[in-house]
Amino acid sequence: MPTKKYVLGSFRDENQTVSAIEALEKSPWELDRVHSPFPSHRIRDALKLKRSRVGYFTLAGGLLGFFTGFALAIYTAVQWNIIVSGKPVVAWISFLIVGFEFTILFAVLGNILGLLTQARLPEFESLKTYDPRSSGEYFGVMASCVESEQEKLMEFLKSRGGEVKVFEREL
């Protein structure tokens, strides 16, 4: 069975990393992933990432939470009728507090759900090809190729100042 080669280029400098990413976009090889020791706007711009949709999950969770909390408060007031000084059973002003609390709860849960689905977590395959130095002083650029192109890809990353490491996975 053919194997796909993954070549990891480790760069010390952010400029070299951005240069390698931009060059890989124009090359025949596929950019697989990038690891950075800190958030970098230059790397994000070089990757041409789309805006995150996690905020929509948070908004949907918040709206759902508000209406769920409001409905729960109305249901409990109607189901267990407590008449207080001739006030209406459904006193919507006091129900806003319950709606607000449910808004916060469901917005947080929606945010977590959005983060997990949009980041495709948990994903354990990348642990096999992760270089721990990418959490400290190095930037990691992982590119994939077929076995016959491995040497060219290694030279490509070395020419841009990277230290090279090879991994393989079956297709």
pLDDT tier at 2, thresholds 50, 70, 90: low
Query: What residue segments make up the domains of the chain, in order of their start?
Result: 3-51+125-170, 54-118
pLDDT tier at 171, thresholds 50, 70, 90: very low
Q: How far apart are CA 58 and CA 171, in angstroms?
A: 36
CATH code: domain 3-51+125-170 is: 3.30.70.260
Contact 10, 162 (CB under 8 A): yes
Q: Quick one: which of 1, 21, 2, 3 has its CA closest to 11?
A: 21
pLDDT at 84: 79
Q: How far apart are CA 91 and CA 97, in angstroms?
A: 11
Question: How does pLDDT run across 29-49, given as a tens digit for each residue?
Answer: 999 999 999 999 999 999 999
Residue 82 burial (CB < 10 Å; 0-12/13-18/19+)? exposed
Q: How far apart are CA 144 and CA 91, in angstroms?
A: 62
pLDDT at 113: 98
Question: How does pLDDT run across 6-25, given as a tens digit for each residue?
Answer: 999 999 999 999 999 999 99
pLDDT at 3: 73
Query: pTM here?
Result: 0.76
